[in-house]
Structure 1
Amino acid sequence: MDSEKAADNFTLSFCLAPQEYSDQGDGIFSCFNEAERKGLYIKLMKHGKIEVGFGNGREIFFFSSINKHTEKNTWNMISVIFRKDAGWCDLYINGILSNRRQFPRHMRLDWPEGKLCLGKYMADSTYEEKKTGVFCGWMKGILVHDYCLSFAEAERLHAQYPCGQKVAALSINRAAWKNDIQRPAYHLIAPGKWMNEPHAPVYYKGNYHIFYQANVHAPIWNHIQWGHMISTDMVHWRDLPLALETEEGTLDPDGCWSGSALIDKNGLPRIYYTAGNNEKFPNQSVAMAVSDAEDIELTRWHKQDSPVQEQTEGWMGEFRDPFVWLEKDTYFMLVGTGDENNGGGNAILYSSGDGLDWTSHGFLLDYEYEKNEELGHVWELPVLLPLRDANGNIYCHILLLCACQIENAAVETYYFLGYWNSEEKSFHKFHEKAMLLDLGNGTFTGPSGFVTPDKRSVLFTIAQGKRKGEEEFYSGWAHNGGLPLELSIAEGKLRLKPIREIYALKKKKLLELADVSSGEANRQLALIKGNRLWMLLCTDCDEAGIVTCCEEQRIKVYYDRKTGRLGAEDEKQICMGKYRGTEDLVALDGGEIRMEYFLDHSMIEVYLNEQKSMSLRNYIRGTERTVRVSEGMERITKLEVWEMENAY
C-alpha cells in the first residue's frame, strides 16, 4: 500500500479468532506514535470490543465497537475503512457496521516513521519490548485495499469468510516446559502462564478439585479468571477448562477473584467468589455460582445474577476472598477487609440459613493492631479450620490470613489459634501476637483450606515466584502452589506436615544411612545429583542443616537447638529466612531433630519436627542440584534420600 494513497482512503481487513483478552487491550494492527499523534492502531479490548485510533499529527481520534463485537473462540471479520473525503472512519464486524468516527472532511492521516506491527500494540516509534498488547488467538486473513470499500462491498467481503465458526478454546501444553530446570514438577502448578493463589478446594463424588487465579494469556497479573484442576489424591492433577470467566454486563466484568467452594445442604457444589466491577464503588462484591448435580467433573458453573453480599462495613473498596463453610445446618462466611476501629485488617463474619441471605456479626477478631502491624491494613484470604488432636477430636480452631497493604514488611501468611463458638458466632484467640507457619520470608502466602472426607484439615498456599517480572515473562510461567499441608494440634501446639499422599511420589531410594557422621554422609551424598529429591535428616546433635548446591550457588537451611532458631542463608551468608523475634523460635529441648526436605527444581521446602516450615526459591544457572548436610554433626541417626516422580 502506497503511503501517499494510504493517507487518503484505504481499507484494512482482518479475519481473526480471539482466544483470550487483556485488560489493556491487544494489538491487531499498530503503526502509531502516541506522542506525535500520528498513525493508526486497531486493538482487541476486553469482552471482544474493538478499538480504533488514528492521528493527523495534531489530534488523536478514537472509537470503539458498539453494534457488534468480536466473539471469543470464533472466527470474526473486521474492516476499518478510512474515508478521507467523507470524514468518516467506519468499523465493520462480521458484516455489520458497528460504529463510525467522524473527523474533519478531507483530513489526511499522518503516518509516523518506524515499524508496522501485526498482532501487537506499540504506541511510539522506539518500539521497546513490552509485556502487554500481544494478540492471543488466530489470524487467517489480512487484506489491504488502497481505496474505500462501499457498504455493499464490505458486506460481500465479510460473507466470504467463516464468520461465526468456532475454534478450539486456548489449551496450554505442559510439555512446552518439560526441559525447564526451574519449573516444579510435583508441586501444584498451572499448565503455563500466570497462576496466583490456589483456592476453593472441594471434594465431590470421588474427586478433589482445586481452582486458582489464572491468566492464560500471559504470565502477568491481568484479566483474572478461575483456573481449574481435578485429582483423586491432591497430588496428580489434571487440567480442566476455566471454571469462571469474566463477562460483560454481569457482576464480574473486571475480574473473577478468589473465593471458596463447598457442598451445600442439598449435596450440590457451590462457588463463592469475589466479583470485580470497576464501574461500581465498592468494586468488589461476593458472587455465587452453582454446578449441575450430574456434572461429575464440575466443568459447568452457573453464576447467580445478583451478588449474595455487598459491602456495608470495613474499609470501603476492600472486600474480598469469601471463605464459606457449613456447620450445624448454618452457613458461615468470612470476607477480608480492613478494620476502621483499630486501623488494621480484619475479617467480617456472616451467617445464613440458606447461603444466600446473610446476616453480619461484625469483625471476627478483637486484637491490638499496634502489636501486629505486620498483618497490614487489609486482610486477604481469611480461613478458619478445625484442629484435631491425635484422637480425632476438635481441640481448637486456626484462623489464617494473608496480610495486605503492609508497611515495611513482606506479605506473609499468619495465624491465630483459638476457640470458635458457632452458637455465639465468636472466635476467642489464645495469643496476642500473630504467628507464622513458615519462615521463608514471603514465599509461602495465599492460604486456602478445607476439611477432607476423612476429617483432615488441609491447607493450600501459593509459592511466590521471587523472580523479576521480566524473567517470569520470558520463562512463560509464574508461581506455583506449595505442598498441601495437614494441620493438627499436639500438646497445645500447631502441627503441620505435607499430606501423606505426597509420599507416593517417592520413586527410587538413592541413599539410606544410620549412625554416621556428617563427613561420611557428605562423601556419599556427593554421588547424588538431581532436581527432584526428598530427604529425611535425623540427629540428636544440637545443630542440623541441609545445603542445596549448584556450582557456586548454595542455600543452607539450619536449626540450632540452643537458640531455637530455624534459619536460612545463601553462599554469601546473607539471611534468606524470616525472623521477628522469640515468637518465631522453635523449642526442641530434648529428643531428635527431624528435618524433612523437599526439592522440586526451584522449590525448597523444609519441615522441622512438624512444628515449623521454611519455603524458599532456588533458581540456578547450572543444570542439576546437589545436596549435603551441615558439617560438624557427630551423629546422624538417620538419613534417607529419594528421587521424586513427576506428578504430571
Structure 2
Amino acid sequence: MTIADPVENRTQDDAFPALHVRPPAGWVNDPNGPFQWNGRYHLFYQHNPSAPVHANIQWGHASSADLVHWRTEPIALTPTPGHLDAGGCWSGCVVDDDGVPTAVYTAIGNGVLDASIALATSADGQLRTWRKHPAPAARAPQGLHLIGYRDPFVFTAYGHRYALVGAGLRGGGAATVLLYRCDDLYEWTYLGPLTNAADPVAARYAPADIWECPQLVRLGDRWVLIVSLWTSEILGRVAYLVGDLDISGGVPRFTPTHGGLVDAGRDFYAPAVLASPERVLLWGWSWEDRTDADVLAGGWAGLLTLPRVLTLNPAGRLASTPAPELHALRGTPVRRVVAVREQPQTVDLPSGPLDIEIRLHSQARQPTALTLRLGDNWLTVTVDPATGRAAVHRNVLHPERATRDATVHITGGTESVHMRLLLDGSIAEVFLPDGVVFTERLYPTTPARHTSLHLRGSVGTQAVITAWQLRLPGVP
C-alpha cells in the first residue's frame, strides 16, 4: 500500500486501489500543492473524510520519501467557522515563501461565488500543522461578471513571482486565466488575463465555460499551460496549450501555438504539477464511473493517479510517462510471447496490482486489438502501426452511461509499438507511444476478479507481454 499502513487501508472492495494515493474512506478529488520539503514529497488533495460525497471539503495530506511508500498525514486544512474558508478549503498550491511553506488556496465562504484566495503557513518541518492568515491575498476583480473564481497556482518567471487563478465569464464559453503579480505573497496585484478562450488556438483545443486548476510550467524553451475544462453541464477533459510567455510589455502574456489533451481517457481531471530543475511531475484526479449506490456502499470515491513525468516529445506535443521510481514496486516478471491471430489469443494474468509491458511487432504493419478483462468488465486498445491510429473502447457498467470510445494518433509507419499498462483495483492507466495516456476505470464484477488479456489481429504479428505483480510497500 502506498499511502498508509497495510492494516489501515485493508478493504473488501476489489475496486479499491492498493498503490494510488487516497485515504481508506471518504471523498477525494483534486490533487493540491505537490511540494518537496525536508527530503520528502508532500501531496495534498481535496477530501471529505466523513462521506464519499463532495461536501465539507478539506485538504487531505500524504507524504513520501521516494514516490512509492506513502504515509497518510493528518488533515492539513479544515474549514474554520467565521473565517474566509468557512464553506470549504478548495484547491490551490503550496510554495516556498522565503523558507516558509505556504499553502495558497481557494477559500469558500457562503457559496461558490463567495471565493477568495487564502494563505496558511506551516512551521513544524513535517507540514502537519498550519496557521491561517486572517486576510485574503486576493479577491475576484470587480466588473468581470465571473461565474467562477478558484484554484490559484503560483509560479516564478523572469525574476518575478506571479499567480494564476482559474475563471470564467458569464455568457458561456468564456473561460479565462487571471494573472496576478505576487512578489509579496500577501499583496497581490491584478494584471489582467494571461490568456482566454477567445484566442483561436485556445478556442480549438480548450473550449470551456471555466478553466479550472490552471498550471503553467516551462518545458525546454516552451511554456505549457494546463487547464481543466468545466462546462455548465458536466466536468470536462483536461487540455494543454504549448506557447510562449512574452514579457516585453512588462506584463506576461501567454500566446499558444498548439495544444491537445493531457490525458485522452474519460476518468481524469484537475491535475497538479510539481516542477523542479530536473523534471516536472504530475498527478491527476480519477473520479468514479459507477453508480451513486455503489459509491455509497463502498464508502469511498476518487483517487489520485500515479505520478507521471511530463516532457515535450519531438513533435512538440505534451508527453506523459510513469515516474521511474515505480519500477521499485515490480516483483518477478512473467513473460509470454504470443503469435497474434484472427481468433483471440488469451493470456491469463496474475492478480493485481499489475505493471504490464506489451511490445507488438508486425512486419505487415496491421492493426492489433488488445482487450483487458476484469470479470465482465473490459477495455480494448486497438493500435494501427501503419496509420498511427490508436483507439480505446470500453464497456461501462453505469446504467446511465454509454460505452465509451476515444481515438488518438501516435507515430505511424513503424513495425513496432510499445505499450505499458498500470492496473490497480479499478483504475487502468494506459501509456502508448509519444507519451499518449488514457486513464480509465474498470470495476471488477466477480469476487475472484479473474484478469486476462486477449489479443486479436492479423497473422504475422507477434506480441511480447511482460507482467509484473506489484509488491505492496513493506512486503519484501
What is the TM-score when the length of structure 1 is the normalising length?
0.66
Q: Give the match for residue 283 of structure 2.
A: 460
- 1:478 aligned to 292, 296, 301, which one? 301
Q: How has the CA–CA distance of structure 1 residues 286 and 563 changed in structure 2, closer, same or farther, with 3 Å as cutoff?
A: same
Cα separation, 1, equivalents of 2:213 and 2:244: 20
1:283/1:317 contact within 8 Å kept: no
Matched, 1:212 2:212: no
| Identical residues among aligned pairs (%) | 27
- 1:439 aligned to 264, 284, 289, which one? 264
SS at match of 1:501: helix
Q: How has the CA–CA distance of structure 1 residues 223 and 594 changed in structure 2, closer, same or farther, with 3 Å as cutoff?
A: same
Q: CA deviation at 1:606?
A: 0.8
Matched, 1:351 2:188: no
Q: Give the match for residue 365 of structure 1.
A: 195
The code of the aligned residue for 2:357 comes to L
Q: Give the match for residue 399 of structure 2.
A: none
Q: Give the match for residue 257 of structure 2.
A: 430
Cα separation, 1, equivalents of 2:433 and 2:83: 49
Q: Give the match for residue 627 of structure 1.
A: 452
Q: CA deviation at 1:577?
A: 3.0
Q: How has the CA–CA distance of structure 1 residues 274 and 472 changed in structure 2, closer, same or farther, with 3 Å as cutoff?
A: same
Pairwise mapping of residues 68-467 of structure 1 onto structure 2 (< 5 A)?
175=8, 177-264=10-97, 266-278=98-110, 282-292=113-123, 295-313=124-142, 314-316=144-146, 318-339=148-169, 343-368=173-198, 371-372=203-204, 375-387=207-219, 394-407=220-233, 411-421=236-246, 424-431=251-258, 434-441=259-266, 443-452=267-276, 455-467=278-290
1:185/1:647 contact within 8 Å kept: no
Cα separation, 2, equivalents of 1:356 and 1:438: 35
Q: How has the CA–CA distance of structure 1 residues 554 and 177 changed in structure 2, closer, same or farther, with 3 Å as cutoff?
A: same
For each residue in 1:185-239, what CA deviation from the matched residue of structure 2 results, as whole angstroms up to 9, or x when unmatched?
Answer: 1122223211111111000010000001111111111111111111012222101
Matched, 1:510 2:331: no
- 2:406 aligned to 578, 583, 586, which one? 578
SS at match of 1:597: strand
The code of the aligned residue for 2:129 comes to R
The code of the aligned residue for 1:487 comes to L
SS at match of 1:335: strand
Q: CA deviation at 1:588?
A: 2.3
1:198/1:448 contact within 8 Å kept: yes
2:427/2:442 contact within 8 Å kept: yes
1:568/1:575 contact within 8 Å kept: no
Matched, 1:550 2:369: no
Q: CA deviation at 1:343?
A: 4.1
Of the structure 1 ranges 492-501 and 366-375, higher mean CA displacement relative to structure 2 is found in: 366-375
1:330/1:354 contact within 8 Å kept: no
For each residue in 1:108-134, what CA deviation from the matched residue of structure 2 results, as whole angstroms up to 9, or x when unmatched?
Answer: xxxxxxxxxxxxxxxxxxxxxxxxxxx
SS at match of 1:349: strand
For each residue in 1:35-88, what CA deviation from the matched residue of structure 2 results, as whole angstroms up to 9, or x when unmatched?
Answer: xxxxxxxxxxxxxxxxxxxxxxxxxxxxxxxxxxxxxxxxxxxxxxxxxxxxxx
Q: How has the CA–CA distance of structure 1 residues 624 and 205 changed in structure 2, closer, same or farther, with 3 Å as cutoff?
A: same
SS at match of 1:504: helix
Cα separation, 1, equivalents of 2:321 and 2:346: 28
For each residue in 1:457-511, what CA deviation from the matched residue of structure 2 results, as whole angstroms up to 9, or x when unmatched?
Answer: 1111001111112211110111101121111123123221011111111122122
Cα separation, 1, equivalents of 2:28 and 2:433: 30
Higher strand residue share: 2
SS at match of 2:453: strand
Q: CA deviation at 1:426?
A: 1.6
Q: CA deviation at 1:601?
A: 1.5
What is the TM-score when the length of structure 2 is the normalising length?
0.88
Q: How has the CA–CA distance of structure 1 residues 591 and 350 changed in structure 2, closer, same or farther, with 3 Å as cutoff?
A: farther
- 1:530 aligned to 340, 351, 358, which one? 351
Matched, 1:565 2:389: yes
Q: CA deviation at 1:173?
A: 8.9
Quick check: which has more Rg, 1 or 2?
A: 1
Cα separation, 2, equivalents of 1:344 and 1:400: 16
Unmatched 5+ stretches in structure 2: 397-401
Cα separation, 2, equivalents of 1:269 and 1:247: 20
Cα separation, 2, equivalents of 1:207 and 1:522: 46
For each residue in 1:116-155, what CA deviation from the matched residue of structure 2 results, as whole angstroms up to 9, or x when unmatched?
Answer: xxxxxxxxxxxxxxxxxxxxxxxxxxxxxxxxxxxxxxxx
1:381/1:402 contact within 8 Å kept: yes
Cα separation, 1, equivalents of 2:213 and 2:77: 18
SS at match of 2:221: strand
Cα separation, 1, equivalents of 2:393 and 2:442: 12
Of the structure 1 ranges 322-331 and 203-212, higher mean CA displacement relative to structure 2 is found in: 322-331
Higher relative contact order (CA 8 A, sep 6+): 2
Matched, 1:641 2:467: yes
Q: CA deviation at 1:639?
A: 2.3
SS at match of 2:413: coil
The code of the aligned residue for 2:215 comes to V
Q: How has the CA–CA distance of structure 1 residues 551 and 356 changed in structure 2, closer, same or farther, with 3 Å as cutoff?
A: closer
Q: CA deviation at 1:301?
A: 0.9
SS at match of 1:474: helix
Cα separation, 1, equivalents of 2:5 and 2:469: 27
Cα separation, 1, equivalents of 2:430 and 2:205: 27
Q: How many residue pairs get matched?
A: 456
2:163/2:180 contact within 8 Å kept: yes
